[in-house]
Structure 1
Amino acid sequence: GEKVPKAHVDRRRMQYLYESDGSYTFMDNETYDQVELTLEQLGDAKNFLLENMEVSIMFFQGIVIGIDLPVAVELRVVETDPGIRGDTATG
């Protein structure tokens, strides 16, 4: 069999900043360089992005090839409708 050389994939920790006109901006936590990703590059990950979220973006020869989101995030409930009598697990 023929040997294929290993691909060098660069994985960088980045922070999601904002979305503007379908372009999603991330900032490298070490160099402060910014990278813009498209909806096509993000895929379903766009549905789970939160402002300031830290993600891992993978590059191959300077081109984005993937994004890893955190396994879990901590969210805070800021508003909810009042409970209705009888609308609980215990009746």
Structure 2
Amino acid sequence: MTTYNSNYFRSGLKIIFDKEPYIIESSQFVKPGKGQSFVRVKLRRLLTGKLIDKTFKATDTLKSADIIEVTVSYLYNNRKFWFFMNNKTFEEIFTTKKIIGNSTRWLVERAICTATLWNKEVISITLSNFVELKVIETHPGLKGDSVSTATKQAKLITGAIIKVPLFIKSGEIIKVDTRSGEYVARIR
């Protein structure tokens, strides 16, 4: 395992801090007029996504984290575990809903995702920014409702319920932003 001196901390570097994996969001080397130089670092905890600020002496060192990101396809779930297939090795990996979080609302069979592994265990699943999903249930828009900001609720094939424009009908395919859960466009 590689050891990094704090002078070499850069954005994107994955390290072990307090026995957990972190990614460096930003770092700033500071050399004051008096005293020892130091490095101000913003770290994101990979297990929870929490951001922390930390100051390291110029002589501090940290070990690199054994973090691997692989492209996977969603297969199925049994309500306890969500199963994915590694697209290169065709190995099956699984994780719990706690790791996936609210992203389960956007998972459809064969959806391409990125799995982040630490010590060969899944610590996060990241979906693509946009998914195309079928609307299975929505009420028809009322005649005369032509205001561009008017919306109604629609149930998607995954069970998620989102707000869509009045012109969307049951059976149509729409594009959804997985980060915000908002309607983006109708797919023709």
Q: Same fold (TM over 0.5)?
A: yes
Matches within 5 A, 1:1-91: 1-77=59-135, 80-89=138-147
TM score, norm. by length of structure 1 = 0.81
Q: Deviations over 1:33-85 (max 9, x none)?
A: 11111111212222222221100001111111111110112234466544432
* Sequence identity (%): 29
CA distance in 1, matches of 2:104, 2:135: 21
Say which structure is richer in helix: 1
Structure 1's 79 and 47: CA in aligned 2 closer, same or farther, altered over 3 A?
A: closer
Say which structure is richer in strand: 2
Q: Relative contact order (alpha carbons < 8 A, sep ≥ 6): 1 or 2 greater? A: 1
CA distance in 2, matches of 1:79, 1:3: 56
How many corresponding residue pairs? 90
- Which range moved further: 41-50 or 19-28? 41-50
Q: Of the two, which has the highest radius of gyration?
A: 2
Contact 2:69–2:114 under 8 Å retained in 1: yes
TM score, norm. by length of structure 2 = 0.43
Unaligned runs of 5+ in 1: none
Residue type of the partner of 1:75? L
Contact 2:106–2:131 under 8 Å retained in 1: no
CA distance in 2, matches of 1:48, 1:39: 13
